[in-house]
Amino acid sequence: MAHRLRPVGPDFVGTAPVRLVFTREMAAPPEAVYRALAEDVAGWPQWFSAVTSARPTDDGRGRHIRLRGGTRFEETVVAAGPGEVYAYRVDVTNAPGLRALVEEWRLAPHGSGTRLRWTWAADGTAPLRLGMRLGRAGLHRAFRDAVTRLDRRIAPAAAP
């Protein structure tokens, strides 16, 4: 059953009860990474294996996401700065126990490539918060593998 989450803004990334932060360097430049994150939403399943379906809504101001296992998210983009940041909050989900969730992808130049930082900021019931902390290693692995696949996908296209 779907339920509506608390509407939070981008500042929630710094104040959430649970914050999982992962960083990885990429060969692709920030502008190419940003395009893949924010402008090619439908392409997410090709590089992020947990995502089975992704489509932009409301002229790119929102997203509908489906994950392996059947979890669904209706999201609103809360921050978008080309080559710098892409963040969205979950408004509606069928994930039990979740009260608020913002994911932020922060991009910074790193040599000729990008340093990408993904922050998963959430609030939920006590069992959900514990589960998120215990699941940190799995989420880190999913991030690492997704970013590796994304870099392989876009780095050649980003080369002059």
Average pLDDT of the chain to the nearest whole number: 94
Number of domains making up the chain? 1
CATH code of 80's domain: 3.30.530.20
Residue ranges making up the domain that contains 83: 3-158
CB-CB contact of 112 with 31 (8 Å): no
Residue that has been written with the tokens 């990885």 in this structure? 24
Residue-wise pLDDT tens digits, 31-78: 999 999 999 999 999 999 999 999 999 999 999 999 999 999 999 999
Orientation angle between helical segments 126-134 and 136-158, nearest 10 degrees: 60
Give the pLDDT of residue 159: 52
pLDDT of residue 157: 55
Structure tokens at 118: 């993904």
Short-list 83, 129, 124, 121, CA closest to 104:
121
The CA distance from 156 to 160, in Å, is 9
pLDDT above 80: residue 11? yes
pTM: 0.93
Q: How far apart are CA 151 and CA 27, in angstroms?
A: 7
Question: Could you tell me how far CA 130 lies from the centroid of its own chain?
Answer: 20
118 bridge partner residues: 22, 105
